[in-house]
Amino acid sequence: MLVVGWQERVDLPLLGLKNLKAKIDTGARTSALHATDIVAFERDGVPWVHFHTRFDDDSRDTDVEVPIHDQREITNTSGIPESRYVIRTKFRISNRLWKIDLSLTERTEMKFRMIIGRTALRGHSILVDPGKRNLTSLASAKLKTKKGSFT
């Protein structure tokens, strides 16, 4: 069982995004990634999407192109349904890696540019401690310190 806090650092390696500050939000069904300048297009008959993502922390601005997995009506934080593109990509938290679906939406006014919903966590032996944060970052730092002290 991996215990995570309500806020963690995560990676989306296929998108070239690392060390992203994300909110673990079990109240949300679908995970969401901040995206602007979203443009759908076709490549070899397959629907793709181009978007720009930017985080306020130490991550860099990135332009991304990826195949569209789906388009869904997703209820936003105000309770209003929105049609969003959904992509499927690899997700890493701590030393675990698996595929998740991410809806693309503009989250400029939100505190967290990425939220991880319960569907992404289901079936991966994750326990969320709502009173803690950055547990996987702290565990990684402690492991590095222990390894360094033995050499």
The pair of three-digit structure tokens given for residue 132, joined into one six-digit string: 């803690």
Domain residue ranges of the chain, discontinuous segments joined by +: 2-149
Cβ 29 vs Cβ 81: under 8 Å: no
Statement: residue 146 has pLDDT above 70: no
Per-residue confidence band for 108, with pLDDT thresholds at 50, 70 and 90 = confident
What percent of the chain stands above pLDDT 90? 71
Mean pLDDT of the chain: 88
Query: Tell me: the pLDDT tens digits for 25-43?
Result: 999 999 999 999 999 999 9
Question: What's the rounded mean pLDDT across residues 9-17?
Answer: 93
| Predicted TM-score (pTM) of this structure | 0.85
Question: What confidence score (pLDDT) does residue 61 get?
Answer: 80
Domain 2-149 belongs to what topology? Cathepsin D, subunit A; domain 1 (2.40.70)
Alpha carbon distance 70, 86 (integer Å)? 5
Question: What confidence score (pLDDT) does residue 6 get?
Answer: 96
- For residue 23, CA distances in Å to 50, 77, 91, 114 come to 24, 14, 14, 6
Query: Tell me: the pLDDT tens digits for 110-143?
Result: 889 899 999 999 999 999 999 999 999 755 554 4
Question: What confidence score (pLDDT) does residue 77 get?
Answer: 78
